[in-house]
Structure formats: C-alpha cells, structure tokens
Copies of this chain bind each other. A is one copy, B any other.
C-alpha cells in the first residue's frame, strides 16, 4: 500500500460558521493507494475526537498502526488496491492542521485562546477546500465514526452531490446534553488546571509530564467510550494489589487502566486542541443553518449507511435510528443497522465485527456506486 503524508497550504480565507475567518491555514492529510486517472476511486475517511490523519499503515520506526488500520489497506474492507483513500486531520486539531497552537500569521505567535471556535461544519468545509485543491469533485464514499460519523453526515447534508455513499458509525444528528456533560469534565479539568495557565503554557510543556486536567477529563471520556458490561468483562472487580484493598489509594484494575491510558494521552494531545474539538462536538447539530432537521435531512442525495451499537453509551442507537426514520419517510436511500455489541462506543473502531459489516455493505453494493 502506498502511503503519503502531506500538508496542503491555503492562502484564501476559510469562512467559518461563527462569521470569523481563518487565513491562511493548512491541512495535513494522508493518502493510501493511488488515485486513478479519472479521479473516480476516492474515499474520504474522517477521524474522531482524539484521532488524526494517520488512519492506516505503520510509520517507519514506529510500532503502532493508524487508528483504522484494520479497515484500510490492500485487500482490506476499504481496499487500497482499488481505492484512493484520503484521511485529513481536522481543523482545530494538533497533528499538523491549523489549530489553536498554530502561529497566527498576523502576530507570528500561536493563536491559543484566540483561535476561532470551529464546528463540524467548518471541519467539513475545510476538507472541501482540500478536495478542491486536489481537483477531486466526486467521492465514492465518506466514512467515519463518532465525530467522524458526524462529519460524514454533515458532508451529506451540506454537499449533496459530493459523495455516492455515506457510512456513519456511532454518531448522532445533534449532540445531547448527556454527551456535553461528559465533555464538561474535560473542559473544567483543563481550564482549572494551574499548569494550563489559561492557555498560555509553553509549547511542548506537557511532553514529559502530561497535563493533569486533560488526563482527568479523559477518564470521563473513557467511561463514555466503554460500557458497564464491557468493563465487567475487561476489569471485573480485580484489584491491582490484593493486599492493599484497604489502602485509600489502592487501585482496582479499572482504576489502573484509567490512570495509565489517560496519563499517556495527556502527554500526546494538546489541551487547547482538546477544548476546541470538544466544543465542535458540543455544537454539532445537523439542523443548524437549515429550517429544521427534516429540512437538512431531506437535502441528502447520497446513499446513507448508518451503523449504531447496542451498548453505545455516548451516542445511543435511537439517535441514528431517528435519522433513518426520517429518510425512510422521505423515501431516501439508506440503511440502518444496530449491531449487537458489548464494546460500548469504542465498538466503531475496535470491533472487528463492524469492520466486517462495513466490508460487506461496501462490496455488496459496489455495483451501485
């Protein structure tokens, strides 16, 4: 599989939903496979909150593969011998695309809290500019889970003629207060952390020792990505040190997992980017800018494949089903599948069952593309 990582520069302004303008900006993206001559084999992959453009393959000298490596590759579900796959890092993130720690061109210092709020609509808008720069005006499919699934749906609504297929996993039509509340833990934990310094921390300040606030917020995140049953399976009531059951800070297995994972995360993710992306998730609402959700949904021309997971405690199956019902009423082409799964919200990227489902979906219907 041919992998290329690039950063595209944009000197023309990006008009944001807030009315503010981002100018100039850049988008870091990765491609897998090869673009065919008539540019008709393109699939766009959209990442979730903590993801990046690195969706597949393994970088030289590294051991960890991209976040959806199980899905993307030669003769995998998204077959890179046939398709040219583009995966971009979203606006606001911290892996090469313009975000709060990027230099503000006017002042030549990082934006920090002066970076404009971006929305899922803006993320999608920015990706449209990239596609345009690449001379790509038609996609075979747009695929994503969680915030990536929000982007896929937003593409479907805002740019009805862009893609033949939309595959949205574990997403929703509008973020509910339940999810905002989980995000609120991160917002407050980061904001109140003295080392955050109101956003004025030094670049790379947390490389060695992550920001506590981000780690704490991420614990709340992990709760929402798992499920009561998956935690039973994964951790049970196992105690890390059996002799220490009556030590105040003695830890159950689930506590160790939360500490370990979130401390790691807080060394590798920029807290300002986290705040901005969480804001984008909170403000996600397909109907904003349209008369109603019905109005927004009725614009869709692509075939929309929606997949939810029974044990998803972040975006509940009923939310995707709500879109499916609307599309059904409108006679719009769509499929909706609620996958029986114990894996919680994380099922969308770690459960091989759903990869297989996508694979089948994708290939069974390929003739209709």
Contact = CB atoms under 8 A, between A and B. Distances in A.
Interface in A210-268: 212, 215-216, 219-220, 222-223, 226-228, 231-232, 234-237, 245-249, 252-255, 258-259
Interface in A100-141: 113, 116-117, 119
Nearest to A254: B177
Interface string A143-164: 0000000000000000000000
A192 to B, nearest CB: 4
Given A182-B223, A248-B275, A232 B176 contact: yes
A222 B316 CA distance: 19
A79 to B, nearest CB: 37
A86 to B, nearest CB: 28
Contacts of A285: 237
Number of identical protomers: 2
A39 interface: no
Nearest to A100: B248
Interface residues of A, number: 60
Interface stretch (A276-284, A329-337, A354-362): A276-284
A293 to B, nearest CB: 12
A313 to B, nearest CB: 8
A231 B188 contact: no
Contacts of A282: 252
Interface string A179-211: 011101101110110100000000000000000
A17 interface: yes
Nearest to A285: B237
Contact of A237 (B177, B237, B246, B252): B177
A246 B184 contact: no
Given A18-B246, A275-B248, A192 B177 contact: no
A174 to B, nearest CB: 6
Given A182-B223, A184-B254, A254-B181, A248 B113 contact: yes
A2 interface: no
Contacts of A369: none
B222 A181 contact: yes
A30 to B, nearest CB: 28
A119 B177 CA distance: 34
Interface string A5-39: 00000000000111110000000000000000000
Nearest to A247: B117
Contact of A223 (B16, B178, B246): B178
A196 to B, nearest CB: 11
Given A184-B254, A216-B188, A216-B189, A248 B279 contact: yes
A34 to B, nearest CB: 40
A187 B220 CA distance: 12
Given A188-B216, A191-B249, 9 more contacts: A176-B232, A178-B231, A180-B255, A184-B254, A184-B258, A185-B223, A246-B283, A248-B275, A248-B276
10 contacts: A20-B246, A174-B237, A176-B232, A178-B228, A181-B258, A188-B258, A192-B212, A216-B216, A237-B285, A248-B275
User: 6 shortest A-B CB distances, which residue pairs?
Assistant: A18-B246, A177-B254, A177-B231, A178-B228, A192-B212, A177-B235
